[in-house]
Each structure stands twice: as structure tokens, then as C-alpha cells.
Amino acid sequence: MANQDNIRPFNRLLLTGAAGGVGKVIRPRVASFAGTIRISDLAAALPPEAAPNEEVVPCDLSDKQAVGALVQGCDAVIHLGGVSVERPFEEVLEANIKGVYNLYEAARKHGVKRIIFASSNHVTGFYRQDEKIDAHALRRPDGYYGLSKSFGEDVAQFYFDRYGIETVSIRIGSAFPEPKDRRMMASWLSYDDLLDLLQRSLFTPDVGHTVVYGMSDNQIKWWDNRFAEKLGFAPRDSSEPFREKVEAQPAPAPGSAVAVLQGGAFTTTGPFE
């Protein structure tokens, strides 16, 4: 894909969840995507210092008025913000369900036309690991977190159909420096492949609402990612170099959720009462 370093087609790009694990990695790498990068997270989590072309704007995503002010003046959004693990429904509701509605409403009001939504592989976590699915398969969320991401994809589709706001929903697999366990041998997404996918999702024209899986070119494949071809996404990294290290770990119990289901431990986390 063409280098965007000197193009900067956006005046201001919003990055939510900038203090999260993925946000911290992405933050310096998206600096060339726009003249100004507005970074945001909860005030307690967000460092106050800013790079030369950054604006630091703390925001609670469940606060509709605050989200409206956050989005105002932005041309596009990379939405990583929200709860990123399985938690009680009340916590997921505030950040992930109210939060994504507040974001899209603000985008509608302020004329934002492109959003990159960090969805999750946990939208389809109840499929078995010996099944291969694509992004159009029936969603089978594996918990409240996965349910919230499924809701977010519906919000993205609705706001495209009614208001023309384009979204690429990226069902992120496991974005870490390296795969941590056997499950991640299939779900791993390298940071370099993630950045490439984000860039293509922002700058590819006419995406409508496109749902893709965020995964590297791993040998074990649970997901047919052909819908990512619209973006020209061809991952370069693979989990294979880490196989020996991963397989040195104790194997999960046969028949356990971690060994059988794509969502792994998320399928059995909770209930929380």
C-alpha cells in the first residue's frame, strides 16, 4: 500500500483506548495518518504528555455529552476504547454498549465518515476449533464482552445503512508481541500486521461496512478471511516461529473449553454473582 507518511489525508484522527495494551502500541505508529492525532482514554489511565502532533483528551465513553465533544472536529476514528476482557454485564454495558452508541451518534452529528471498530474474535467464540468460518457466519458470542462486540457490529451496519458512515469492523484475534499459548497459534495478530490492517481500513475507498478477522498468516486457520481482500490485506507474519516455545507448555486438558472452542477460556468465565 502507498506510504501515507507525507499524505496525511485526515486533518484530525481520533484514537480511543489509547492507554490500553493495543492502544499504547498503535499510538506512535498512527502519527503519520493525520495532521493531528486526538488520543483518548479514561482520565486515570491516560498519561498527560503528548507528542508533537497529538491532543490528549480524557473521556468516559458512557458520558454521551463528553463523547460528543471528543468526536467534534475529527475526520475519522480508530475505536479501541472499552472493556477488553470478560466482565460483569454492568461494566460491559457502560463502556462497550452505551459507549459505542455514543460514539456513532457523535459521528453522525459531527459528520465523521469513517470508523475503524475494534471488534473481537469472541463474537464467534462458541464455534469449535475444528470448524472454519468466515465473517458472514452466524455470530455466536462467548460472553458479555463478545455480545457487546456483536452489538457494535450491528450499530456499525445500522449507521452505514441509514447515515452512510463507513466502518471496518476488525475482529481482532490476539494482538500481542508473540503468541502466549496454543490457542494463540491460530488467533495471533502481530503488531505489524495490525498496523497494516488499520492503515488499509482507514484509506481503502468504498468499504461500506466490512467485517474482517484480524489475524496474521498463521498455519492453523479457524477463519476464512476472504472478505479482507477488499482491503488488499495480506498478512506477512506468522505464529510458526514461536511453535516450539508454545508447545513446551503443558497441553490443555482434552475436552476442555480451551482445547475445543475458539473462544477458549472466555466461554467459561463467569457468572459473576
110-137 average pLDDT score: 98
Residue 230 lies in a domain: yes
Whole-number Å distance between alpha carbons of 96 and 82? 5
Residue 3 lies in a domain: no
Per-residue model confidence (pLDDT) at position 7: 52
Is the pLDDT at 72 greater than 90? The verdict is yes
Tallying the residues shown for the chain, one arrives at 273
Residue 169 lies in a domain: yes
Is the pLDDT at 269 greater than 80? The verdict is yes
Whole-number Å distance between alpha carbons of 47 and 88? 27
Residue 196 lies in a domain: yes
Residue 4 lies in a domain: no
* 3-state SS string for 100-124: HHHHHHHHHHHCCCEEEEEEEHHHH
Among all chains, which residue has been given the C-alpha cell 498478512? 235
Residue 70: pLDDT band with limits 50, 70, 90: very high
Residue 22: pLDDT band with limits 50, 70, 90: very high
Give the CATH number of the domain where residue 122 resides.
Answer: 3.40.50.720
Residue 189 lies in a domain: yes
113-140 average pLDDT score: 98
> Higher pLDDT residue, 47 or 167?
167
Residue 50: pLDDT band with limits 50, 70, 90: confident
Strands 10-16 and 34-39: parallel
List the grid coordinates of 54.
497529538
Residue 8: pLDDT band with limits 50, 70, 90: low
Distances (CA, A) of 11 to 6, 33, 76: 13, 9, 9
| % residues pLDDT > 90 (the chain) | 93
Per-residue model confidence (pLDDT) at position 5: 45
Residue 249 lies in a domain: yes
Question: Which residues on neighbouring strands pair with residue 134, listed in sequence order?
Answer: 224
217 three-state secondary structure: coil
Active-site position among 101, 144, 145, 159: 145
Burial of 256 by CB count in 10 Å (0-12 exposed, 13-18 middle, 19+ buried)?
middle
User: What are φ and ψ of residue 117, in 5° steps?
Assistant: -100, 120
Is the pLDDT at 2 greater than 80? The verdict is no
Whole-number Å distance between alpha carbons of 29 and 208? 25
Number of domains in the chain: 1
| Domain of 206, in residue numbers | 10-267
60-75 average pLDDT score: 98
Is the pLDDT at 36 greater than 80? The verdict is yes
Residue 229 lies in a domain: yes
Mean of per-residue pLDDT scores for the chain: 95
Per-residue model confidence (pLDDT) at position 4: 44
| % residues pLDDT > 70 (the chain) | 97
14 three-state secondary structure: strand
145 among known catalytic residues? yes
